[in-house]
Amino acid sequence: MALATTDKTFAADVLSSDKPVLVDFWAPWCGPCRMVAPIIDGIAEKTAGTAKVFKLNMDENPRTAQQFGITGIPTVIVFRNGAKAAQLVGAQPEAAYLKALGN
């Protein structure tokens, strides 16, 4: 299952990670976000040990979403070595997220 990250923990959780990190920027009122949620949780299970998977609730953590220019959700960003490596906007199939993550 994907873990939650926040404005306060984002740098430590994501930017300082020595593994690739997939972050799902979402909101509870977003229908497509709810559709993607089980896919993201499945990716977390499939990549356990090789990558990290987090979810960031944009309603509760607007600073990080603004920092990365998120205007549409769901948006998934893959980070490698603290830098944005890939970004996907809108609901995508699992294969697209895994490809962006490098799996």
Domain boundaries along the sequence of the chain = 3-101
Specify whether 33 is catalytic: yes
Specify whether 30 is catalytic: yes
The one catalytic residue in 33, 39, 43, 65 is 33
pLDDT at 102: 87
User: Under DSSP, is residue 10 helix (H, G, I), strand (E, B) or coil?
Assistant: helix
Residues of the chain with pLDDT below 50 are none
pLDDT at 82: 94
Could you tell me which CATH number the domain at 3-101 has? Answer: 3.40.30.10
The one catalytic residue in 30, 43, 65, 78 is 30
pLDDT at 11: 96
